[in-house]
Structure 1
Amino acid sequence: MEDKIRCGWCSSSDLYKKYHDEEWGVPVYEDQKLFEFLILETFQAGLSWITILKKRENFQLAFDDFDYKKVALYTEDKIQELLQDAGIIRNQLKIRAAISNAVAFMKVQEEFGSFSKYIWEFTDGKPIQNNRQSLKEVPATTPLSDAISKDLKKRGFKFVGSTVVYAHMQATGMVDDHVADCWKKSNFLKVNNKTSPKSFIFF
């Protein structure tokens, strides 16, 4: 891939670079995509994100294109089938959590109209643009991810600790943690240098 200055965490592979350049930190408002990242992030717990990215297509096939309506109806036979699928992470607790999370996901939709509306209300519907100078400044959790994690758990979600939630926020663009010299941050500032500050939340 062309030589660009990127956040240091993605330098180990082209797959990481592509994900960084095209998805990480880009706001996601579509429910099915949010559910996809929720599944992937919960399966990542205790593992590296590159491990999940390498298996992403397999997860897509195994979980019916991340259709939460279908996942919520998975039977014990389906669970056993997934446990035999070497293409995904064969963790029984996480597989069962994916199903119960799909059920909880739809309950949130019923209450708020969409999961997107629910989750984005935590940032007033706007991405948080952080000003990180280096990777050392990027936290694993924040008070906001603590609060979201607590609320998700109350709603029946599993494997949604604060670290998982903050990674989800980064992945879906609720927060932008690209460091100052990353081309994505520089590009954002160039594109938005005439945008009203009210369009974003800065910390």
Structure 2
Amino acid sequence: MMAVFQGEDGQVRCAWCAAHPEYIRYHDEEWGYPVIDDVHLFEKICLEGFQSGLSWWTILQKRENFRAAFAGFDIHKVAAFDDADVARLVQDAGIVRHRGKIAAAINNAARAIDLTAEYGSLAAYFWSFEPSAERQEREKGGEMFVATTETSVRLSKDLKKRGWKFVGPTTCYAFMQAMGMVNDHMPTCASHAKSERARAALIRPKPV
């Protein structure tokens, strides 16, 4: 499997983003860069859950629709959704109309409120799982591409224990990559060094 490609602009990028210009924008501007904003974190973990079994292209195409449908991913607003909202969302062609995933997002909003009460923020909770660079390399076992790691399994188990849904180890690892908890840009990708600088400058949120 090709690890990187060179774009028309001369930039070397991770090969997975070569298929669509939207992928390139997402790769260059978001993927792998550290996030500590709770709204964005909740959005990312919800969208990774909706992506399960589908292509990320499908989710990117519908992301603005998801934001409109789920009240901008405000956890308090989403947690207040009722059966009428579920019925509305199941009929919304602008999103992924999977009843189980919709119900999971609403459930997870309530569980996110619980987490913020305990940790002070979602960011403080999620970043507490950040593996060291050495641990991350050990967990990947020398492989360039992995779907899960010991840390993603641990995060998944903890979230499920807390009542979260659609947060399996693969979904959790994709979330870890997307939110910049780990830097899985290829070493020769132009974004790898940018991600490392952003991660180095980040002040990690701490539990209250």
| TM-score interval for Structure 1 and Structure 2 normalised by the shorter chain | 0.7 to 0.9
Equivalent residue letter for 2:159: L
Q: Deviations over 1:113-148 (max 9, x none)?
A: 111111111127x888967xxxx6121000000000
Pick from 119, 122, 125 the counterpart of residue 115 of structure 1. 122
2-side partners of 1:16 and 1:114: how far apart? Answer: 29
| Candidates 3, 7, 19, aligned match of 1:12 | 19
Structure 1 regions of 5+ residues with no counterpart? Answer: none
Cα deviation, residue 59, structure 1: 0.3
- The amino acid of 2:144's aligned partner reads E
* Sequence identity percentage: 47
Alpha carbons of 1:186 and 1:89: their partners in 2 closer, same or farther (altered >3 Å)?
same
Residue by residue over 1:165-193, the C-alpha shift from the partner in whole angstroms, topping out at 9 and shown as x without a partner, is 0000000000110001111114456x58x
Q: Which residue matches 1:40? A: 47
Measure the CA separation in 2 of the matches of 1:158 and 1:50.
22
1:31 to 31, 34, 38: 38
Specify the SS of the correspondent of 1:6. strand
2:149 is matched with which residue: 126, 142, 147? 142
Give 2:177's aligned residue. Answer: 170
Work out whether residues 27 and 127 of structure 1, in 8 Å CA contact, stay in contact via their aligned partners in 2: no
Would the aligned equivalents of 1:43 and 1:52 in 2 still touch at CA under 8 Å? yes
TM-score (structure 2 length as normaliser) = 0.84
In the alignment, the residues of structure 2 paired with residue 158 and residue 3 of structure 1 have an alpha-carbon distance, to the nearest angstrom, of 42
User: Closer, same or farther in 2 for the Cα pair 1:117/1:75, shift >3 Å?
Assistant: same
Q: Which residue of 2 aligns with 1:80?
A: 87
Question: Structure 2: how far apart are the matches of 1:173 and 1:127?
Answer: 12
RMSD of Structure 2 on Structure 1 (CA): 2.4
Alignment size in residue pairs? 190
CA contact (8 A) 2:183 2:195 kept: no
Taking structure 1 as the reference length, what is the TM-score of the superposition?
0.86
